[in-house]
Amino acid sequence: MVRFIDLCSGIGGGRLGLENNGFQCVAFSEILPHSISAYKSFYDTRNEKELGDLTQLNIHDIPDSEILIAGFPCQSYSIQGLRKGLDDERGQIIFHIRDILKEKKIKYFILENVKGLVNINKGKTFQFIVNMLENTGYKLYFQILKSNDYGLPQKRERVYFVGIREDLPDTDFEFPQPYQKTSQLKDFLIDEDEKYIYDNFDWLSKYMNNKYNYGKYDLNEILSEDYLVVDTRQSDMRFFRDYIPTLRTGRSGILYVKNGKLRKLSGKESLLLQGFNKKIFDKSKNYADSILLQQTGNAMSVNVIQEIGKSLIKNLKNNGDLQ
C-alpha cells in the first residue's frame, strides 16, 4: 500500500485525489477548526495520526510514508491577498514542509499553490522555493494546470509541484495531459433547495444599471438561458457559459440561471465543482454555505490531484514502491 501524509489538508481535496488511486492516508495536519470538523466527518480518520499545527509538531512523531501532499497556504501569494510572499508568516510554512521532507526522507511530494506564486516579486520568490526544494535532494517538476482541463467546469489555475527524491532509480515525471471534458456544468448544479432561488433584483439591478453596464443587459434575456453563470464583483458583472469562475475564499456573487430563475451557488455544489463526490456532497448537508464556500475555495481540485497521482504510479512501480 502506498502511504501518504496530508499536510495543510483543508477539507481533503488532495487526500481524495490520492485515495482515488488506491493510496492510503496515514496522517493529516490542519489548524482551522471548521476544516478539521469537516475533514473528520468526510473521511474515516480513526486509525490516522492527527498532527495538528505542523509548525509546532515533533517531526519524529510523523508516521512513515511514501508521499507528502500539501496545499501550503496561498494567501501570501494570491492576487486577492497582500502578496507578502515569504515575508508573511503563512508564506513560511514551506520551510516547515522542507524540514519534514529532509528529516523523514520522503520519496515523493505533491505541492499546490496559486498561479500568482510564479510571478510574485518578479519571480524571485518562486525561484527561491524551486532552488530550496531541489537543494533538499529532489528532482523537481512544476506546471500550471487548469481544473477545467480535467473534467471540472471551473476556470481554476494552480501551480503544482512534484518532487522525486534524486537518489531513486526513476526520477522522470510527466504531468498529466488534459482530457476531453465528459461532464457538463448542469451535472454539477444539482442542488434543488428552494432557499437558493435568488429574487433580490434590486441588488442585481445596481450592477446592470451602473455606468459600466447601463443598457447592455436585459434581465429577461438573462433568465431565458439556463445554466448561464452570472458573477458580480465590485462594480463588475460577468457572464460565463459551460464553466464557473474560480472558487475562492470570500468570493460571493456567483449566480446561475435554472428553470428561468436565478439561483445562488450552494456550498454543496461548490464541493462537486472541486471534484468531491456525491457521498461527501450528502455528508456536507449540516454545514453552513458560508463555511463550505470558504473551504472549497481553499481546497485542491480532486480531479487534478487524481491525475497527478495516476502519472506518479509509473515511478512508484519502477522504484519498487508499488507492485
- The rounded distance, in Å, linking the Cα atoms of 258 and 227 is 6
Closest CA to 315 of 160, 169, 99: 169
Distance CA 100, CA 115 (A): 24
Question: Which pairing describes strands 108-114 and 67-70: parallel, antiparallel, or unpaired?
Answer: parallel
Residue 25 designated active-site: no
How far is CA 3 from its chain centroid?
Answer: 21
**How many CA atoms lie within 13 Å of 130's alpha carbon, on the beta-carbon side?**
14
Taking the C-alpha atoms of 229, 148, 248 and 283 in order, what is their torsion angle to the nearest 10 degrees? 90
Q: 276 is written with which cell numbers?
A: 468531491
Contacts of 241 (CB under 8 A, 6+ apart): 227, 228, 229
What is the residue-wise DSSP string for 193-259? Answer: -GGGB---HHHHHHHHTSTTTTTT--HHHHHTSTT-EEEEETTEEEEESSSEEPP-TT---EEEEET
Catalytic residue among 74, 111, 117, 265: 74
Beta-bridge partner residues of 154? 244
DSSP state of 60: G
Q: Report how far residue 213's alpha carbon sits from residue 271's, in angstroms, rounded to the nearest whole number.
A: 31
Catalytic positions = 74
